């Protein structure tokens, strides 16, 4: 008997808690933002480098309309010789930025052993693309009392990604925000290929909110504004964008950091487009 080879490909993994069936849309309260209902605009540096830069950037992105601050204290770098992040010192700087601006903090956790103590410093635990299928880390954040921002792995299907969210929900933490950040294709002009169709696809499969990271998806400053706006049109619940006050000197991802000025210009368009989309729907 002939079996269609693509049937396998389209079959979903066993997802139960993440599926849309019998569950209305999840909203996650972080500070005064209800993720899944209000548009979340997360901005900040790739890495926390020092107090001065971080506080500068935090103040600027808040003024531009960002409602959460991102910043890596533990960095998953391709080379072990690249800047690895400030660790605890970086988290303390983020805490200061939060006290100064009132913005909730999003930061990546790399190691299951760091999950519980990191919750004292961050409002949302980020799982990076490279760790999407780190199952011991997923189980650990599943026990944490913090929402989780789960990035899509660069080689992962939507089905595999949702299965990873399932790991977190199965441990009892239902506050998961998915983040499309581009996948590897044969294209090399952009750092990755932003799969915007993942946004409506996830929305027809799951009740979880989904945001888009146009920074790591494109890797190019010129492509970030148009893809951010395209993400809004695709129905994304938010965006996460890297901003640096001196991109040329940034210790990581300097080619893809927006200046505070270009971020402010973009943020204005994002909110205007978002209002227009709400009227349209």
Asked if 76 touches ligand PEP (CB under 6 A), the answer is yes
Listed residue (54, 167, 31, 147) closest to 100, CA to CA = 54
Query: Which one, 112 or 273, has the nearer CB to ligand PEP?
Result: 112
Binding to ligand PEP (CB under 6 A): which residues in 239-268? none
Listed residue (96, 92, 115, 94) closest to 106, CA to CA = 94
Beta carbon of residue 108, minimum distance to Mn ion (angstroms, whole number): 9
Query: Which one, 76 or 102, has the nearer CB to ligand PEP?
Result: 76
> Could you tell me if 116 and 134 are in contact, meaning their C-beta atoms sit under 8 angstroms apart?
no
* Length of the chain, in residues: 281
Site of interaction with Mn ion (CB under 5 A): 46, 253
> Could you tell me if 179 and 212 are in contact, meaning their C-beta atoms sit under 8 angstroms apart?
yes
Report angle CA 160, 162, 280 to the nearest 5 degrees: 125
Listed residue (43, 25, 27) closest to 35, CA to CA = 27
Query: Which one, 50 or 275, has the nearer CB to ligand PEP?
Result: 50
Q: Which does 123 bind (CB under 5 to 8 A by kind): Mn ion, ligand PEP, none?
A: none
Q: Which does 76 bind (CB under 5 to 8 A by kind): ligand PEP, Mn ion, none?
A: ligand PEP
Listed residue (60, 8, 1) closest to 258, CA to CA = 60
Q: Which does 181 bind (CB under 5 to 8 A by kind): ligand PEP, Mn ion, none?
A: ligand PEP
Beta carbon of residue 85, minimum distance to Mn ion (angstroms, whole number): 11
Tell me the backbone φ, ψ of residue 7, rounded to 5 degrees: -60, -45
Query: Contact letters (x/-) for ligand PEP, 142-181, by CB under 6 A?
Result: ---------x-----------------------------x
Query: Which one, 92 or 130, has the nearer CB to ligand PEP?
Result: 130
Binding to ligand PEP (CB under 6 A): which residues in 107-146? 108, 128-130
As a whole number of angstroms, the distance between CA 28 and CA 248 comes to 36
- Positions in the binding site for ligand PEP (CB under 6 A): 46, 72, 76, 108, 128-130, 151, 181, 213, 216
């Amino acid at each position: 008997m002939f079996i269609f080879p693509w049937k396998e490909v389209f079959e979903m993994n066993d997802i139960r808690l993440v599926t849309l069936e019998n569950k209305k849309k999840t909203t996650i309260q972080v500070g005064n933002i209800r993720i899944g209902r209000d548009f979340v605009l997360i901005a900040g540096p790739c890495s926390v480098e020092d107090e001065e830069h971080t506080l500068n950037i935090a103040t600027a992105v808040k003024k531009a309309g960002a409602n959460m601050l991102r910043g890596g204290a533990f960095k998953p770098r391709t080379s072990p010789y690249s800047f690895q992040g400030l660790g605890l010192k970086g988290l303390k700087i983020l805490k200061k930025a939060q006290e100064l601006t009132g913005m909730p903090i999003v930061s990546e956790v790399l190691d299951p052993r760091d999950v519980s103590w990191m919750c004292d410093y961050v409002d949302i635990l980020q799982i990076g693309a490279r760790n999407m299928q780190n199952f011991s880390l997923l189980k650990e954040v599943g026990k944490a009392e913090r929402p989780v921002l789960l990035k899509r792995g660069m080689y992962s299907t939507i089905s595999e990604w949702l299965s990873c969210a399932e790991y977190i929900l199965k441990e009892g933490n239902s506050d998961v925000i998915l983040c499309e950040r581009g996948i590897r294709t044969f294209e090399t002009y952009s750092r990755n290929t932003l799969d915007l169709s993942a946004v409506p696809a996830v929305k027809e499969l799951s009740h979880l909110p989904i945001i888009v990271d146009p920074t790591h998806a494109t890797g190019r400053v010129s492509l970030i504004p148009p893809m951010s706006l395209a993400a809004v049109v695709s129905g994304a619940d938010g965006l996460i964008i890297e901003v640096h006050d001196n991109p040329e000197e940034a210790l990581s991802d300097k080619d893809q950091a927006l200046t505070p000025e270009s971020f402010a210009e973009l943020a204005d368009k994002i909110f205007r487009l978002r209002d227009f989309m709400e009227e349209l729907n």
